[in-house]
């Protein structure tokens, strides 16, 4: 048995993919799936603010792709929104301040739906939560998981629409978040009866530290594939 650490990459089928948006852009990404079995659910990852370093390789999303296909039978789609660069490459276009990115979210959902990937869940982090709330309330989406939601670009109108949809929301809110802390988050998300807000003691907006990454990944799996929860901390080679 080998301990799973911050740098562990577990077995999966990984392929580089390109998303095509309705306004003519190509977005670079990766799809990771379980190695030997079909996935039981799918995470569509929406990364933090690209003007502050957010990208498809932002560490929580990267670790989700490295671990969850093997540990929880999940497919994990990561991609760079318009104008965003990472080791995988640069997506076409320029940053759209969360508005033009509606086409990026739609392209990712459509890509997964076209592949008949099962049970599509959005996984947004910071800026990515605002894309999820604004543009991810889609018939093909089962629900959304929000890491460090600022609720700045997305607000009362989006929360009301999610409440009406009945789609589940799970908000993971760090105790020491820079923008929205647990007590405030519970007040704001009270507008969505089906929303669950979990405060994470000691955590900060960027989820630095393996302890906090494990909390986040476990809560994701608890909601999306509870049969695989809790996640193991060791891997049998």
Nearest to residue 217, comparing CAs of 52, 180, 209? 209
* pLDDT at residue 8 in the model: 97
- Is the CB of residue 221 less than 8 Å from the CB of residue 228? yes
Grouping H, G, I as helix, E, B as strand and the rest as coil, residue 230 is coil
**Rounded (10°) CA dihedral 105, 102, 173, 11:** 20
**How far apart, in whole angstroms, are the C-alpha atoms of residue 189 and residue 164?**
13
**How far apart, in whole angstroms, are the C-alpha atoms of residue 182 and residue 197?**
8
Q: What are phi and psi of 204, to 5 degrees?
A: -120, 175
- What does pLDDT average to over the chain? 98
Q: Can you give the residue ranges of every domain in the chain? A: 2-235
118-156 pLDDT, tens digit each: 999 999 999 999 999 999 999 999 999 999 999 999 999
Would you place residue 60 in the very low, low, confident or very high pLDDT band (cuts 50, 70, 90)? very high
Give CATH superfamily name and number for 2-235.
Answer: Alpha/Beta hydrolase fold, catalytic domain (3.40.50.1820)
- Is the CB of residue 223 less than 8 Å from the CB of residue 206? no
DSSP 222: H
* pLDDT at residue 64 in the model: 98
- Is the CB of residue 136 less than 8 Å from the CB of residue 122? yes
- Which residue pairs from 94-102 have beta carbons closer than 8 angstroms and sit at least 24 positions apart in sequence? 95/50, 95/51, 97/153, 98/127, 98/130, 98/131, 98/134, 98/153, 100/23, 101/131, 101/135, 102/131, 102/134, 102/135
* pLDDT at residue 237 in the model: 72
User: What mean pLDDT do residues 66-86 have?
Assistant: 98
28-42 pLDDT, tens digit each: 999 999 999 999 999
User: And the tokens for 222?
Assistant: 């608890």
Q: Does the model's pTM come out above 0.85?
A: yes
């Amino acid at each position: 048995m080998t301990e799973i650490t911050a740098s562990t990459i577990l077995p999966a089928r990984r392929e580089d993919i390109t998303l095509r948006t309705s306004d003519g852009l190509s977005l670079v990404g990766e799809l990771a799936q379980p190695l030997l079995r079909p996935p039981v659910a799918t995470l569509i990852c929406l990364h933090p603010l690209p003007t502050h370093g957010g990208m498809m390789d932002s560490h929580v999303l990267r670790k989700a792709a490295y671990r969850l296909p093997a540990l929880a039978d999940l497919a994990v789609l990561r991609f760079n929104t318009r104008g965003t660069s990472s080791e995988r490459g640069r997506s076409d276009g320029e940053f759209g301040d969360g508005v033009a990115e509606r086409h990026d979210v739609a392209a990712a959902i459509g890509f997964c739906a076209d592949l008949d990937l099962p049970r599509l869940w959005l996984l947004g982090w910071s800026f990515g939560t605002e894309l999820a709330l604004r543009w991810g309330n889609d018939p093909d989406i089962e629900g959304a998981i929000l890491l460090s939601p600022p609720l700045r670009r997305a607000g009362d109108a989006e929360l009301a629409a999610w409440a009406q949809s009945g789609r589940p929301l799970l908000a993971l809110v760090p105790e020491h978040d820079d923008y929205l802390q647990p007590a405030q988050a519970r007040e704001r998300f009270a507008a969505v009866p089906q929303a669950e807000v979990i405060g994470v003691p000691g955590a900060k907006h960027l989820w630095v530290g393996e302890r906090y990454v494990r909390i986040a990944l476990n809560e994701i799996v608890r909601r999306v594939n509870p049969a695989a929860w809790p996640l193991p901390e060791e891997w049998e080679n």
